[in-house]
């Protein structure tokens, strides 16, 4: 009899733990539930040490915005309070935190601001999912210990092909913070438009900012330096680094429209596609641009693109300056010229004390791997990832399949891209990265993390942007933050369904993959 009771108790305990999956995305490393609860109400106070004050303010603002609860700050409290503490601790990983919710107090502890902020975002998710009864919210008591799997959890937005503007960018940054994503890679230049003001070369935006991928006459759209600073500040308050991308030597059409003297020509399909690698003036011009870019972005990382140069470097075969450069350096082919260009620009960036970031084409060049991160995007070329790791490059994983969010989420969707019939459903994002990738030599030490890229040739407005990003952004977050052993897709799906209310409340036009009738 006793054994039967024991078996039932174990079974029941198993069932209840499963039913009590913690309602947080991305799922924390460890979460243990206790039986009590904390009552959050207008009397709740907030206590924070000096280092934690700004984060306390963020928590107050969010609670007021979403719950209508105004928490008062206090130096000390004994009951019904939230305690935020940053205490240096060399043993704790960056972004690690402990959150404990008891009857009298909620405590979040971390060794650094990044960790405390992550803890606050966990608490906010728990709070937002509880109903408010008589102006009081009962928050179930959890003890959480958490830290991320990857340090790089990114989203890239292409605003050259279509421009969305600062309010949309801020909304994306809010959702990134909600999901503990911490790198915003901003693709600001490409064929249709140059979107970042450069004071020394005003025509870049006045002329280069005209047009979009679908409307070559659209009035100039771009960010002034003041607006860039505003967005960088907004991101910093959410512990998100902003990384600008100035694509070169290809994808330079918009810049070349403004300053044709630095153009290296293009091809019939991609006219005026490249900067001219043979002219000394090009390096001066681009370094001036990069100097202004560096001053705007405290992340100390600049992405130089360096992708798909072969789309438009044919003219280099006839260009006098390029031919002279080849002769002087005994370069045999155009890839050698490309590698030379990339190396010179990388040196400029390092001289500005920035890390060099670039698409995976640079792996075949002759760049040294120090201070350099490769963005592996060609999912059909796993050998390039392997080679990058062998050469000692740091790597961000963002393969087209499954991390290009300009790809449709469902085979029935019509707006968006597919690759040989391939699309990118929620689950494929969730399951990334495969063991094949993480078992590669050097993967553990050199893979910085993962990133979704939203290219916008086919994404023409905010609704389409939302429809591509949501809810895959949640799967991206859990894939980037949560350990493989802790991940569980069916639990994730259940947790995710509750987030759809938040999406609706924020006016997002999202895809619901659990409602098969939607398209
Ligand atoms: C490839 S990824 C590109 C982009 C396009 C994208 C469309 C990469 C480095 N280059 O220029 O927008 O495909 O999916």
Contact 217, 210 (CB under 8 A): yes
Which residue stretches of 23-112 are H helix?
Answer: 53-67
Domain ranges within the chain, ordered by starting residue: 21-146, 152-505
- Once rounded to an integer, what is the mean pLDDT over residues 179-202? 98
Residue range 42-62: average pLDDT? 97
Q: Residues 396, 399, 405, 409: is their CA dihedral positive or negative?
A: negative
Provide the whole-model pTM: 0.95
Residue of 6 and 65 predicted with greater confidence: 65
Give distance in angstroms: CA of 192 to centre of ligand 1: 13
Residue 23 has pLDDT above 70, yes or no: yes
Compute the distance from residue 402 Cα to the ligand 1 centre, in Å.
14
Distance of CA 429 to the CA centre of its chain: 14
| Residue 9 confidence (pLDDT) | 43
Atom 2 of ligand 1, nearest CA residue? 377
Which ligand 1 atom is nearest residue 456's CA? 12
Sequence-distant (≥ 6) Cβ neighbours of residue 364 within 8 angstroms:
335, 339, 384, 387
Average pLDDT over residues 197-205: 98
Given the CA of residue 308, which atom of ligand 1 is nearest to it?
Answer: 10
The continuous run of DSSP H or E covering 48 comes out as strand 45-48
For the Cβ of 379 lying below 6 angstroms from any atom of ligand 1, the answer is no
Q: What is the dihedral of CA 201, 203, 204, 207, to 10 degrees?
A: 180
Structure tokens at 122: 């966990």
Distances in Å between the alpha carbon of 150 and those of 82, 119, 455, 495? 28, 16, 23, 21
Strand, helix or coil for residue 243: strand
Which of 415-451 are b and which e, b meaning 16 or more Cβ less than 10 Å from the residue's Cβ?
A: ebbeeeebbbbbebbbebbeeebeebebbeebbbbbb
Active-site residue, selected from the candidate residues 230, 237, 308, 462: 308
Contact between 107 and 144 (Cβ < 8 Å): no
pLDDT of 515: 85
For the CA atoms of the chain, what is the radius of gyration?
25
What is the rounded CA–CA span in Å between residue 377 and residue 401?
Answer: 8
Say how many Å lie between the CA of residue 274 and the centre of ligand 1. 16
Alpha-carbon distance 243 to 346, whole Å? Answer: 15
pLDDT of residue 516: 61
DSSP string, 162-195: S---HHHHHHHHHHHHHTT--EEEEE-BSSS-B-
Residue 465 makes CB contacts below 8 A (sequence gap 6+) with 164, 168, 454, 456, 459
User: Residue 205 contacts by C-beta under 8 Å, 6 or more apart in sequence?
Assistant: 194, 195, 196, 197, 198, 220, 222
Task: Tell me what the mean pLDDT of segment 363-372 comes to.
Answer: 93
Question: At residue 467, what are phi and psi to the nearest 5 degrees?
Answer: -65, -25
Rounded Cα distance, 34 and 143, in Å: 8
* CA 98 – CA 89 distance, rounded (Å): 13
Model confidence at 518: pLDDT above 50: no
Question: What is the predicted pLDDT for the residue at 16?
Answer: 44
Topology match between the domains 21-146 and 152-505? no
User: 377 CB less than 6 Å from ligand 1?
Assistant: yes
Strands 183-187 and 152-158: parallel
In the block, tokens 């045999």 appear at 332
Pocket test for ligand 1, best of 158, 307, 408 (most atoms within 8 A of CB): 307
Among 308, 359, 403, 468, the mutation site with the greatest number of ligand 1 atoms within 8 A of its Cβ is 308
Q: Average model confidence (pLDDT) for the chain?
A: 95
Q: What's the rounded mean pLDDT across residues 406-423? A: 92
Going by pLDDT thresholds of 50, 70 and 90, the confidence category of residue 2 is very low
Per-residue pLDDT reduced to its tens digit, 350-363: 999 999 999 999 99
What's the 400 CA to ligand 1 centre distance in angstroms? Answer: 9
What is the 8-class DSSP label of residue 419? B
Of 148, 85, 81, nearest in space to 112 by CA: 85
- Residue of minimum CA distance from atom 7 in ligand 1: 455
Residue 20 binned pLDDT confidence (cut-offs 50, 70, 90):
confident
> In angstroms, rounded to a whole number, what is the distance separating the alpha carbons of residues 184 and 173?
8
Nearest to 282 by CA among 342, 234, 330, 232: 342
Average pLDDT for 326-331: 98
**What pLDDT is recorded for position 13?**
44
Q: Are 353 and 290 in contact (CB under 8 A)?
A: no
- Compute the distance from residue 459 Cα to the ligand 1 centre, in Å: 13
Q: Taking Cα atoms as reference points, which of 390, 395, 384 lies closest to residue 361?
A: 384
* Distances in whole angstroms, Cα of residue 412 to Cα of each of 169, 254, 469: 28, 34, 17
Topology (CATH level 3) of domain 152-505? TIM Barrel (3.20.20)
Is there an atom of ligand 1 within 6 Å of 406 CB? yes
Atom in ligand 1 nearest the alpha carbon of residue 158? 12
- Chain-centre distance for alpha carbon 490: 24
Query: Residue 10 pLDDT more than 50?
Result: no
**pLDDT, mean of residues 370-393:** 97
**What percentage of residues in the chain have a pLDDT greater than 90?**
92
Reduced to 3 states (helix: H, G, I; strand: E, B; else coil), residue 47 is strand
pLDDT digits (tens, 9 = 90+) for 152-161: 999 999 999 9
Q: pLDDT confidence of 421, banded at 50, 70, 90? A: confident
**Mean pLDDT in residue range 229-244:** 98
Ligand 1 centroid, distance to 501 Cα (angstroms):
33
- Does 189 have pLDDT greater than 80? yes
308 is known as an active-site residue = yes
Distance from chain centroid for Cα 480: 10
- Give residue 88's Cα distance to chain centre: 27
pLDDT at 36: 93
**CATH code given to domain 21-146:** 3.30.379.10
Instruction: Read off the DSSP letter of residue 315.
Output: G
**132 vs 436, more confident:** 436
Distances (CA, A) of 331 to 60, 151, 324, 336: 61, 39, 10, 6
């Amino acid at each position: 009899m006793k054994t039967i009771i024991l078996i039932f108790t174990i079974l029941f305990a198993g069932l209840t733990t499963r039913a009590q999956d913690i309602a947080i995305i991305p799922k924390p490393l460890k979460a243990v539930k206790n039986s009590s609860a904390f009552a959050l109400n207008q009397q709740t106070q907030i206590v924070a040490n000096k280092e934690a004050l700004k984060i306390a303010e963020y928590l107050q603002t969010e609670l007021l915005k979403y719950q209508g609860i105004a928490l008062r700050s206090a130096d000390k409290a004994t009951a019904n309070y939230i305690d935020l503490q940053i205490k240096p601790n060399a043993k704790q990983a960056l972004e690690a935190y402990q959150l404990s919710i008891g009857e009298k107090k909620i405590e979040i502890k971390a060794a650094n601001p990044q960790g405390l902020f992550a803890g606050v975002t966990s608490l906010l998710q728990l709070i937002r999912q509880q109903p408010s009864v008589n102006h009081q919210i009962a928050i179930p008591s959890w003890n959480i210990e958490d830290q991320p799997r990857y340090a790089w959890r990114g989203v890239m937005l292409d605003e050259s092909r279509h421009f969305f503007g600062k309010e949309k960018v801020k909304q994306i940054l809010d959702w990134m913070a909600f999901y503990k994503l911490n790198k915003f890679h901003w693709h600001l230049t490409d064929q249709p438009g140059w979107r970042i003001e450069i004071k020394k070369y005003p025509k870049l935006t006045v002329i280069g900012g005209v047009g979009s991928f679908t409307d070559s006459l659209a009035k100039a759209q771009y960010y002034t330096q003041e607006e860039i600073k505003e967005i960088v500040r907004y991101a910093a308050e959410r512990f998100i680094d902003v990384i600008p991308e100035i694509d070169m030597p290809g994808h330079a059409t918009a810049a070349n429209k403004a300053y044709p003297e630095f153009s290296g020509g293009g091809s019939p399909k991609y006219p005026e596609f490249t900067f001219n690698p043979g002219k000394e003036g090009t390096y001066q011009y681009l370094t001036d641009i990069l100097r202004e870019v560096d001053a705007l972005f405290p992340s100390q990382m600049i992405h130089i693109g360096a992708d798909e140069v072969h789309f438009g470097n044919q003219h280099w075969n006839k260009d006098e300056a390029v031919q002279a450069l080849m002769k002087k350096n005994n370069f045999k082919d155009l890839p050698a010229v490309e590698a030379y260009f990339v190396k010179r620009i990388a040196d400029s960036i390092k001289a500005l004390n920035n890390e060099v970031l670039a698409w995976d084409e640079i792996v075949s060049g002759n760049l040294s791997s120090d201070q350099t991160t490769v963005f592996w995007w060609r999912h059909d070329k796993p050998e390039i990832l392997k080679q990058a790791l062998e050469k000692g490059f740091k790597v961000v994983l963002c393969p087209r399949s499954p991390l290009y969010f300009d790809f449709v989420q469902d085979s029935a969707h019509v707006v968006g891209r597919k690759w040989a019939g391939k699309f990118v459903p929620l689950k494929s994002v969730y399951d990334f990265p495969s063991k094949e990738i993480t078992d590669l030599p050097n993967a553990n030490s050199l893979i910085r993390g993962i990133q979704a890229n939203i290219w916008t040739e086919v994404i023409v407005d905010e609704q389409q942007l939302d429809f591509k990003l949501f809810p895959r952004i949640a799967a991206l977050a859990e894939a980037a933050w949560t350990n493989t052993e802790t991940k569980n897709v069916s639990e994730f799906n259940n947790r995710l369904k509750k987030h759809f209310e938040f999406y609706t409340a924020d006016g997002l036009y999202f895809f619901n993959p659990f409602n098969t009738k939607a398209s």
